[in-house]
Amino acid sequence: MGILTRFRDIMSSNINALLDKAEDPEKMIDQCLRNLNSDLGKVKSETAAIMAEEQRAKRVLDDCNEEITRMQTFAMKALEAGNDDDARKFLEKKASVSANLSGLQEAYDLAKNNAAHMRQMHDKLVNDINELEARKDMIKGKLAVAKTQERINQMGSSVVNANNSMASFKKYEEMADKAIDKANAMAELNRSSADQTIEDLTMKYSINNSVEDELAALKASLNK
């Protein structure tokens, strides 16, 4: 029964645990099914051989029983014909054939049990493969959903990063605005300082000119 070792190992374990360990779960699913279908071919061949042995053992047993019945029938006919010697020979043949009956019956019972066991294993393997085939689509569907969710999560992370970047840009923009405002204020102050100096000088010379004009006017009036 070594051909069923891999089948029993897979079916006795948790398929989801196997998938968790696989780098590519979809490939793992397909590989499991390929292995099981390969085993199924071997099980079918072995089952057919054991069923053929059962049929052969049954045929030999039936032939033995028929021969015993036939020898019994001819013995009776010989006795009815009054031929004891012939009847004795038929009964001796019957006894010889009957000696093999127990062994043939045992061989047939064993072959029958083996065939029944193999048929059960064959049917279970077929059912399990069918179940896994049905689960395969479900599992692959879940994997597809998981991959989609993973892509959405990645896009969500990108959106969060973009929001963080926008916040950083806004912060830098505010810093730039403050720098521009400060520079503009300094420029305004510089302009105001320069204008004030010129104005002061203008007032200075404007006052001096008025005094000179007034002095000249007084001189002119005295000369007259």
The fraction of the chain above a pLDDT of 90, given in percent, is 28
Tokens found for residue 182: 């400060």
Structural element, H or E, at residue 174: helix 101-223
Question: What is the per-residue pLDDT across 103-148, written as a single tens digit (0 to 9) for each?
Answer: 999 999 999 999 998 888 888 888 888 888 877 777 777 777 767 7
User: In whole numbers, what is the pLDDT of the chain averaged over residues?
Assistant: 77
Question: What is the per-residue pLDDT across 51-95, written as a single tens digit (0 to 9) for each?
Answer: 999 999 999 999 999 999 999 999 999 999 999 999 999 999 999
Question: What is the per-residue pLDDT across 195-219, written as a single tens digit (0 to 9) for each?
Answer: 555 566 566 555 555 667 777 777 7
pLDDT at 109: 94
How many beta carbons lie within 10 A of that of residue 32, not counting itself? 20
Q: 3-class DSSP state for residue 81?
A: coil
Nearby residues of 19 by Cβ (< 8 Å), 6 or more positions away: 25, 28, 29, 139
